[in-house]
């Protein structure tokens, strides 16, 4: 097959941009060269020749020689404008921006169709794990029943170090930021918003369902205390921030929350910045993919893979969205078993279907009960920072 030579225009030269530069240098088989890199801060010291850099986006967008725009900035609104303009000019686009893709999917699909130009974003979900193309190509049928796992590297790094190295939450969060794993606004990581965006992208490629991220429940790891960690230790659990979606007939459930994981479960051993994706399908049953979910080169390698795919005109066909999705709907009526740790008094017992266990001590109080996701998500007590919730797997 004849392969296209590509000239790239890159937006952003932060963690992922530098990672891409490094992997491109090593990947001799990929026929792609960087022509220009558009940056916001021209005075920042850069590790490569300054001839590459500009602050004028039109130097990239209006250059007919640049056939591919690689969008690697973290401002989702600015990223959307760049991607729209590039697609309107008929340029192919590679993006790593999960927030932009999860929130603007319907508009992006229209642009792809109208301007016949591909938009690829493998790096936006679980960095180095090739999950989107697997969902698109290998699972191009309706036999898939669930996709779940650890979709955020920073929080897995934080939890691993808190559990195995007894480090404090704030200390490890700082380390995750220094290593370039965390988002510029780390609230997106620690409150489970970043993995929720990834889940929304997975919902689209796994089942053909478009959901607004705001309608999906997320709960983070910022409230996990030593009391919670001790509870987990005593029961031989690990704690992981798990995003999951399930399909049952035409009903889809999906959310992201900290979850107790039994030590026998392989996900309990997916540590530090690694991510793990568990796929369940009618006949292949369970499969697990593990790989680095954050960091410059792992994420750069996923961007490189998209660039390489463009050399042979690959594009997502969105088959499930086009052919299968018509009746699907997101539901939040399922009942879950959760652990609730509270400080003094708890006012929400009536929200629970049943309470299985209760404990009180001067060090803290908890109970374990069963609750409908809808009630949990809409309760007022869940907003109290002194209350923590952890799901059972």
Q: How far is the CB of 227 from ligand HSE (least distance, A)?
A: 26
| 130 binding ligand HSE? (CB under 6 A) | no
Short-list 294, 293, 263, 267, CA closest to 278: 267
Nearer to ligand HSE, 12 or 369 (CB): 12
Q: 14 and 183 in contact (C-beta within 8 Å)?
A: no
152 binds ligand HSE (CB under 6 A): yes
In DSSP terms, 279 is beta-bridged to 147, 287
- The residue nearest ligand HSE at its CB is 154
Q: Give the integer Cα–Cα distance in Å for 24 and 332.
A: 43
Please tell me the distance from the alpha carbon of residue 238 to that of residue 261, in angstroms, as a whole number.
Answer: 5
127 binds ligand HSE (CB under 6 A): yes
Comparing CB distances to ligand HSE, the nearer of 24 and 182 is 182
Give the binding range for ligand HSE (CB under 6 A) out of 65-73, 80-88, 113-121, 178-186.
178-186
Q: Which of 9, 153, 192, 254 binds ligand HSE (CB under 6 A)?
A: 153
Are the CB atoms for 102 and 201 separated by under 8 Å?
A: yes
Using CB under 6 A as the binding rule, whether residue 154 contacts ligand HSE is answered as yes
301 binds ligand HSE (CB under 6 A): no
Which helix H or strand E contains 284, and what residues bound it? none
Which has the closest alpha carbon to 95: 117, 65, 64?
A: 117
| DSSP helix/strand/coil, 227 | helix
**Residue 154 to residues 124, 173, 194, 237: CA-CA distances in angstroms?**
14, 8, 10, 20
- # residues near ligand HSE by CB under 6 A: 11
- Minimum Å distance from CB 16 to ligand HSE? 8
Give me the least distance between CB of 92 and ligand HSE, in Å please.
22
Return the number of the residue (243 or 338) whose C-beta is nearest ligand HSE.
243
Look up 198 and say whether it is catalytic: yes
Query: What burial class does residue 374 get, using C-beta atoms within 10 Å of its C-beta: 0-12 exposed, 13-18 middle, 19+ buried?
Result: middle
Residue whose CB is less far from ligand HSE, 151 or 352: 151
d(CA 296, CA 16): 5
In the complex with ligand HSE, the residue whose CB is nearer, 31 or 171, is 171
Per CB under 6 A, which of residues 189..208 are in contact with ligand HSE? 189, 194
> In the bound complex, what is the minimum distance in angstroms from residue 172's beta carbon to ligand HSE?
12
In the complex, minimum distance from the CB of residue 59 to ligand HSE, in angstroms, rounded to a whole number: 28
Non-local (6+) Cβ contacts of 327 within 8 A are 250
Work out whether 182 is an interface residue with ligand HSE (CB under 6 A): yes
Q: Which helix (H) or strand (E) holds 173?
A: helix 169-178
Q: Using the rule CB under 6 A, which residue among 149, 192, 293, 300 binds ligand HSE?
A: 293
Q: Which is nearer to ligand HSE, 300 or 348 (CB)?
A: 300
Of 91, 196, 198, 247, catalytic: 198
CB of 198 to ligand HSE, least distance (A): 7
Structure tokens at 21: 């530069």
Q: Which of 328, 345, 163, 364 has the alpha carbon at shortest distance from 258?
A: 163
d(CA 268, CA 266) in angstroms, rounded, equals 5
Residues forming contacts to ligand HSE in the complex (CB under 6 A) are 127, 152-154, 181-183, 189, 194, 293-294
**Catalytically annotated residues:** 198
């Amino acid at each position: 097959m004849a392969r296209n030579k590509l000239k790239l225009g890159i937006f952003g030269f932060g963690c992922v941009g530098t990672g891409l530069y490094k992997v491109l240098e090593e990947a001799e088989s990929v026929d792609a060269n960087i022509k220009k890199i558009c940056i916001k801060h021209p005075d920042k010291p850069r590790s490569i020749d300054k001839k590459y850099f500009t602050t004028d986006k039109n130097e990239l967008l209006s250059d007919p020689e640049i056939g591919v725009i690689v969008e690697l900035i973290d401002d989702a609104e600015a990223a959307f404008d760049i991607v729209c303009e590039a697609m309107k000019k008929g340029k192919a686009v590679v993006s790593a921006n999960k927030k932009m893709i999860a929130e603007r999917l319907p508009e992006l699909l229209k642009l792809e169709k109208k301007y016949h130009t591909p938009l690829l974003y493998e790096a936006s979900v679980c960095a180095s794990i090739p999950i989107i193309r697997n969902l698109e190509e290998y699972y191009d049928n309706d036999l898939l029943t669930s996709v779940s796992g650890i979709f955020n590297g920073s929080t897995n790094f934080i939890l691993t170090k808190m559990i195995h190295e007894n480090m404090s939450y704030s200390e490890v969060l700082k380390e995750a930021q220094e290593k370039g794993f965390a988002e510029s606004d780390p609230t997106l990581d620690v409150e489970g918003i970043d993995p929720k965006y990834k889940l929304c992208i997975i919902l689209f490629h796994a089942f053909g369902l478009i959901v607004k991220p705001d309608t999906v429940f997320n709960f983070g790891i910022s409230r996990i205390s030593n009391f919670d960690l001790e509870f987990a230790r005593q029961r031989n659990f690990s704690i992981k921030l798990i995003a999951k979606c399930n399909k049952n007939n035409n009903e889809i459930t999906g959310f992201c929350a900290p979850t107790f994981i039994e030590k026998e479960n392989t996900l309990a051993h997916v540590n530090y910045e690694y991510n793990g994706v568990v796929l369940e399908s009618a006949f292949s049953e369970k499969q697990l993919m593990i790989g680095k979910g954050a960091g410059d080169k792992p994420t750069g390698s996923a961007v490189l893979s998209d660039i390489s795919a463009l050399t042979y005109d690959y594009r997502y066909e969105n088959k499930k969205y086009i052919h299968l999705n018509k009746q699907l709907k997101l539901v939040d009526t399922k009942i879950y078993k959760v652990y609730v740790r509270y400080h003094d008094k708890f006012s929400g017992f009536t929200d629970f279907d049943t309470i299985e266990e209760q404990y009180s001590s001067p060090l803290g109080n908890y109970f374990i009960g069963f609750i409908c996701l809808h009630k949990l998500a809409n309760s007022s007590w869940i907003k109290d920072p002194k209350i923590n919730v952890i799901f059972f797997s």
